[in-house]
RNA sequence: GCACCGGUAGCUCAGUUGGAUAGAGCACCAGACUACGAAUCUGGGGGCCGCGGGUUCGAAUCCUGCCCGGUGCGCCA
């Protein structure tokens, strides 16, 4: 199923072709001036520029050809050469009927036969998740949902940070405290205890202490580096201790992501590719791609046309330890081997851009990436209301857990104020508050363009009027309520619409644009396009809703048609909210 | 110093191959609940699109030079 604008573009394209012009000029888009027309084609202007002809003349020729097609109700040339187009109500009704029958609502098939690995999350072992992890989680999850909906085979990977210096820092600190001496005994033959010597709470306390000590004292840093290198070299006690860190952290992380409704196909970490690192390095050395530089082993990635310095990717530090660039490279090898993706998408902070550029260049230079395109979809940093990196009122880092608790609490307060869920059981009220709070959080994040830094403003996020997640939930809940009442009165919706008013036409046009929004959002890896779509849809429906009463409509056919329209709106809204990772309560 | 990302209404942000009168939300002002849920809807005011130059019939968008903010640039992740 192609979309309406694609269909119109094809028609206009062949009109241009028939005039000996490129079919590309036929691109049709929703009108910038809805008061003048439903759609517009600007191709005559572009064509005129290229051929140095009169744009209105070209527009006239195209318009004359388009008149042959019955899909158009009105064709008009305006201004310097815009072609304004209206589609017949019958054509709209037919396409709406087709959309209603399609379970995917006409979703694009842009990923059919293709596989994408989406790498996001990237939490570190032994560190609690904080607000800084929110964007990767929310944006990455939205993209994995979107790509799946667009027929991609998606493999998402949380890519835990579990193999770097922070591991050595933890080991060093625990060694100093002598709370688990068995892991440090040189001659110990095992087995090591099953039970972890540290809890997640312990790790959360130990890590900052260790990190601060390493920062303050070069001796401690050296110690941590040595421990990291020994861990990576396979020292049994360290490996055993490390396993505990990972297990303890991972169960906590799974819970946190689950509370946001986010899941991953793979819970791999940097360490999981460790066995591949040695052979990969040997291979790169043998092919002359890896060379020694200042005691480290590097891959040079600078290219002749570079406008900036491009430092080499360091594979091995002078002490023999690997860096995250090394594991990232080995992870590409692993992914190519296990799922042979067409695309590997990294949803990671934009500040990592330089790093990924290095890794990608190294991978391409060594042809490690198979057929996969490597792409970094970065995002801006999240700041506090003062424009500086976000902190709690006390000046500390805000944990994700606390943040979710706060928004949920705020949502509960709002429900109480509005007197909305008064008679609902407490369980349901809590569930609604959770869904509303998370919707507010996710929508506020996703509606910003990915690359702009955004201000984390709890007061603004928990406001539920206007362009917010809860507004969309509310719109959906109202429709659900109407449909429930209709069903109770045995009123059936009709698939075929009866178009009578501007509000209905506007609604149908927006519904038919869903696949275009999904395709555009995928192309730009831009969830904010979906947010805009959903908000506009809800707004248009609300207008329709306030203008036309549905259930009390006397004309049964008209009533059924409007129910059908409401039903399709709900389906589209539910779909987009699902892509955004937002749940809709039964009632609220 | 070099590079990357931003600069659009009082605030937070959109703006699709360059196109018609630059759009939302919040805030402000004025309206709409004895009909389907008012967390809603309708209307209004509010803009040298950071600044200058250039390309074009036409620029928030492309090129160029500045200014401001953020970030990154060899052994952290």
CATH assignment at residue A522 = 1.10.730.10
* Strand B closer than 7 A to residue A169 Cβ: no
Q: How many Cβ atoms are within 10 Å of A259's Cβ, its own excluded? A: 15
User: Per the domain annotation, does A408 fall within a domain?
Assistant: yes
Low-confidence spans in chain A with pLDDT less than 50: none
Distance CA A261 to C1' B49 in A: 38
User: Per the domain annotation, does A207 fall within a domain?
Assistant: yes
pLDDT at residue A421, rounded to an integer: 80
**DSSP state letter for A387:** S
Q: Are residues A363 and A450 in the same domain?
A: no
Helix (H) or strand (E) holding A59: helix A55-66
Q: Are residues A150 and A280 in the same domain?
A: yes
Q: Are residues A154 and A290 in the same domain?
A: yes
Q: What is the CATH number of the domain that holds A346?
A: 3.40.50.620
Domain boundary among A69, A87, A105: A87
Q: Are residues A289 and A351 in the same domain?
A: yes
Distance CA A566 to C1' B34 in A: 26
Q: What is the CATH number of the domain that holds A41?
A: 3.30.1360.70
Domain boundary among A214, A240, A259: A259
User: Per the domain annotation, does A390 fall within a domain?
Assistant: no
CB burial class (10 A; 0-12, 13-18, 19+) of residue A407?
Answer: buried
Shortest CA to C1' contact from A311: nucleotide: B74
A146/A521 Cα distance (integer angstroms): 8
Q: Are residues A413 and A562 in the same domain?
A: yes
Distance CA A309 to C1' B2 in A: 7
User: Per the domain annotation, does A110 fall within a domain?
Assistant: no
pLDDT at residue A179, rounded to an integer: 93
Residues 293-322 of A, Cβ under 7 A from nucleic strand B? 293-296, 298, 307-309, 311-312, 314, 317-319, 321
Q: Are residues A470 and A548 in the same domain?
A: yes
Shortest CA to C1' contact from A316: nucleotide: B75
User: Per the domain annotation, does A141 fall within a domain?
Assistant: yes
Domain boundary among A242, A259, A276: A259
Distance CA A30 to C1' B23 in A: 15
- Reported ipTM: the value is 0.95
Distance CA A186 to C1' B5 in A: 50
CB within 8 A of A533, min separation 6: which ones?
A510, A513, A514, A517, A576
Do residues A4 and A95 touch, judged by C-beta distance below 8 A?
yes
Q: Are residues A514 and A550 in the same domain?
A: yes
Query: Parallel, antiparallel, or unpaired for β A296-299 and A290-293?
Result: antiparallel
User: Per the domain annotation, does A229 fall within a domain?
Assistant: yes
Q: Are residues A363 and A497 in the same domain?
A: no
Give me the domain span that covers residue A492. 400-579
In angstroms, how far is the first alpha carbon of chain A from the final one? 35
Q: Are residues A569 and A522 in the same domain?
A: yes
CB-contacted nucleotides of strand B (7 Å): 1-7, 12-17, 19-21, 24-27, 35-42, 56-58, 69-77
User: Per the domain annotation, does A290 fall within a domain?
Assistant: yes
A124/A544 Cα distance (integer angstroms): 48
Q: Are residues A336 and A365 in the same domain?
A: yes
Residue nearest to nucleotide B2 (CA to C1'): A308
Question: How confident is the model over A425-446, as pLDDT tens digits?
Answer: 999 999 999 999 999 999 999 9
* Strand B closer than 7 A to residue A550 Cβ: yes
User: Per the domain annotation, does A523 fall within a domain?
Assistant: yes
The DSSP result for A104-159, as a single string, is TTT---TTTT-EEEEEE--PBTTS--BGGGHHHHHHHHHHHHHHHHTT-EEEEE--
* Strand B closer than 7 A to residue A351 Cβ: yes
Look at chain A and report how many structural domains it folds into: 4
A250/A341 Cα distance (integer angstroms): 26
Shortest CA to C1' contact from A448: nucleotide: B13
pLDDT at residue A132, rounded to an integer: 81
Question: How confident is the model over A409-421, as pLDDT tens digits?
Answer: 999 988 888 877 8
* Strand B closer than 7 A to residue A578 Cβ: no
pLDDT at residue A455, rounded to an integer: 77
Shortest CA to C1' contact from A477: nucleotide: B37
Helix (H) or strand (E) holding A86: strand A82-87
Q: Are residues A436 and A521 in the same domain?
A: yes
* Strand B closer than 7 A to residue A464 Cβ: yes
Q: Are residues A189 and A135 in the same domain?
A: no
């Amino acid at each position: 199923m192609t979309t309406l604008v694609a269909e119109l573009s094809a028609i206009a394209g062949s009109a241009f072709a028939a005039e000996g012009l490129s079919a590309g000029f036929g691109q049709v888009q929703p009108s910038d001036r809805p008061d003048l027309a439903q759609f517009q084609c600007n191709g005559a202007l572009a064509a005129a520029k290229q051929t140095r002809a009169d744009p209105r003349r070209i527009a006239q020729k195209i318009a004359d050809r388009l008149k042959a097609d019955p899909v158009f109700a009105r064709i008009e040339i305006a201004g310097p050469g815009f072609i304004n187009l209206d589609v017949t109500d019958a054509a709209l009704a037919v396409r709406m009927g087709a959309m209603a029958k399609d379970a995917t609502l006409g979703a694009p098939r842009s990923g059919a036969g293709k596989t994408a690995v989406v790498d996001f999350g990237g939490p570190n072992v032994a560190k609690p998740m904080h607000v800084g992890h929110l964007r990767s989680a929310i944006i990455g999850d939205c993209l994995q949902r979107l790509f799946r909906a667009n027929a991609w085979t998606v493999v998402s990977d949380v890519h835990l940070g579990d193999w770097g210096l922070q591991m050595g820092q933890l080991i060093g600190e625990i060694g100093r405290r002598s709370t688990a001496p068995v892991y440090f005994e040189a001659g110990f033959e095992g087995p090591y205890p099953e039970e972890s010597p540290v809890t997640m709470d312990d790790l959360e306390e130990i890590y900052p202490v260790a990190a601060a000590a390493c920062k303050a004292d070069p001796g401690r840093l050296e110690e941590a580096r040595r421990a990291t290198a020994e861990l990576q070299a396979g020292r049994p006690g360290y490996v055993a201790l490390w396993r505990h860190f990972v297990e303890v952290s991972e169960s906590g992380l799974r819970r946190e992501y689950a509370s946001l409704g986010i899941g991953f196909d793979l819970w791999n970490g940097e360490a999981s590719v460790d066995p591949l690192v040695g052979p990969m390095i040997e291979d790169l050395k043998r092919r002359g791609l890896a060379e020694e530089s200042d005691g480290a082993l590097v891959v040079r990635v600078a290219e002749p046309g570079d406008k900036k310095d491009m430092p080499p990717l360091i594979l091995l530090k002078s002490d023999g330890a690997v860096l995250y660039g090394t594991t990232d490279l080995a992870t590409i090898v692993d992914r190519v081997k296990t799922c042979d993706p067409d695309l590997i998408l990294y949803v990671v902070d934009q500040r990592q851009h330089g790093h990924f550029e290095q890794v990608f260049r190294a991978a391409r230079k060594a042809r490690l990436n198979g057929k996969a395109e490597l792409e970094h979809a970065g995002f801006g940093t999240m700041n506090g209301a003062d424009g500086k990196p976000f902190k709690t009122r006390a000046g500390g880092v805000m944990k994700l857990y606390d943040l979710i608790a706060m928004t949920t609490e705020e949502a509960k307060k709002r429900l109480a104020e509005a007197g909305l869920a008064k008679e609902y059981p407490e369980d349901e009220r809590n569930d609604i508050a959770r869904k509303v709070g998370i919707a507010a959080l996710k929508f506020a994040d996703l509606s910003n363009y990915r690359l702009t830094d955004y201000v984390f403003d709890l007061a603004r996020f928990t406001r539920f009027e206007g362009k917010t997640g809860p507004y969309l939930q509310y719109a959906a809940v109202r429709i659900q309520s109407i449909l429930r009442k209709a069903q109770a009165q045995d009123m059936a919706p009709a698939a075929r619409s009866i178009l009578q008013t501007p509000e209905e036409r506007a609604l149908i046009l927006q519904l038919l644009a869903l696949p275009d929004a999904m395709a555009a959002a995928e192309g730009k890896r831009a969830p904010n396009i979906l947010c805009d779509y959903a908000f506009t849809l809800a707004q248009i429906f609300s207008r329709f809703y306030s203008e036309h009463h549905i259930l009390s409509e006397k004309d049964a056919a008209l009533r059924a048609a409007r129910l059908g329209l409401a039903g399709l709106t709900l389906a589209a809204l539910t779909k987009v909210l699902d892509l955004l990772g937002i749940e809709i309560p039964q009632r609220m």
